[in-house]
Copies of this chain bind each other. A is one copy, B any other.
């Protein structure tokens, strides 16, 4: 982690001190790091971001630990961001932190942070993305983003990663498989962990069948619109990434080397195909638009007054005006030109 005298103070601080980094992440969680994030941004973009998602019981946390150890053995610095978006109101369990601590504690090249949920899904996705930017500016080579669960939330969070791993395990039952049909479409690499367990053959068969049906989707900009299209439509049928299935036994390290090789291959694909830039463009478009929406709304409410909004809500409760007309009215009142 090199330092140059031209670095902004916050970047120098988080590259030098784990404590400064931890404090910055807390400020990000509390939405109090806007200026820092702007200063960090030019100094990021070098880390490889790896999303790891899958249902509880797949051994995701052990896999993440094994991967971290393998990257460390290659001399790479690693940070792990564990996000639990399953409990929308009260924050979820902290992900396998005890195991993690035992395995990785004391290695200065590894930094671990857990985030229980706060606020709505959009807020979690935003906070996660900002935290990743901080870890990226702190010059980690690899950032592992671990999410628990198998729903839309994971799709949102995984979309911040360059390479997304979806973890399965034998014997979790058909129900879990059914939930994950959508998740497969975001998988760059499928990992069957606990591959020494009975039933691994039927899990592999089920996953191969699903891969035959579905396709990795890419989110791109098309005529100024964000669209989700099959990857083959972006880079051509022959060049499109074929989602591989990798078998691992995280607890004894089996298959981890092969997994890291596949991840490196995917990283090269993203760069050579131009897909990485397409994704960045789509994701920046979504982020800038979202920030603009918030700024514009705050400005409008300031102009018309929150009491005016509340009065229209009361009229809508009485069914005197519909919500869409109420919004149009507030717009007209707020943008007197």
> Is A161 part of the binding interface, using a Cβ–Cβ cutoff of 8 Å?
no
From A22-30, A195-203, A277-285, the one touching the partner chain is A277-285
In the bound assembly, the distance between CA atoms of A149 and B182 in angstroms comes to 11
Find out whether the CB atom of A175 lies under 8 angstroms from the CB atom of B178.
no
Total chain A interface residues with beta-carbon distance under 8 A: 83
Find out whether the CB atom of B121 lies under 8 angstroms from the CB atom of A316.
no
In the bound assembly, the distance between CA atoms of A86 and B178 in angstroms comes to 9
With both beta carbons as reference points, the residue of chain B lying nearest to A310 in the complex is identified as: B224
Number of copies: 2
Contacts of A172 in B (CB 8 A): 175
Residue-wise interface mask of A (306-335) relative to B, using a CB-CB cutoff of 8 A (1 in contact, 0 not) = 100110111011011111111110110001
Contacts of A44 in B (CB 8 A): 319
Find out whether the CB atom of A322 lies under 8 angstroms from the CB atom of B38.
yes
From A63-71, A249-257, A290-298, the one touching the partner chain is A290-298
Find out whether the CB atom of B294 lies under 8 angstroms from the CB atom of A293.
yes
Q: Which of B175, B185, B288, B337 contacts A323 (CB 8 A)?
A: B288
Find out whether the CB atom of A288 lies under 8 angstroms from the CB atom of B326.
yes
With both beta carbons as reference points, the residue of chain B lying nearest to A291 in the complex is identified as: B327
From A101-109, A150-158, A258-266, the one touching the partner chain is A150-158
From A74-82, A87-95, A235-243, the one touching the partner chain is A87-95
Contacts of A284 in B (CB 8 A): 313, 316-317, 323
Find out whether the CB atom of A322 lies under 8 angstroms from the CB atom of B150.
no
> Is A9 part of the binding interface, using a Cβ–Cβ cutoff of 8 Å?
no
Which of A37, A43, A150, A151 has the most chain B CB within a 10 Å cutoff? A151
Find out whether the CB atom of A92 lies under 8 angstroms from the CB atom of B306.
no
Q: Which of B42, B43, B152 contacts A85 (CB 8 A)?
A: B152
- Given A34-B324, A285-B309, A293-B297, list of 10 further CB < 8 A pairs? A57-B174, A86-B179, A86-B182, A92-B182, A93-B181, A121-B152, A173-B173, A284-B317, A288-B316, A293-B296
In the complex, 29 of the A-B residue pairs with CB atoms within 8 angstroms, ordered by the A residue number, are A41-B323, A42-B322, A43-B319, A56-B179, A57-B174, A85-B152, A86-B152, A86-B181, A86-B182, A87-B181, A88-B155, A88-B185, A88-B186, A89-B217, A90-B182, A92-B181, A121-B156, A150-B151, A151-B152, A152-B152, A224-B306, A284-B317, A285-B313, A288-B330, A289-B297, A291-B323, A292-B300, A292-B327, A293-B294
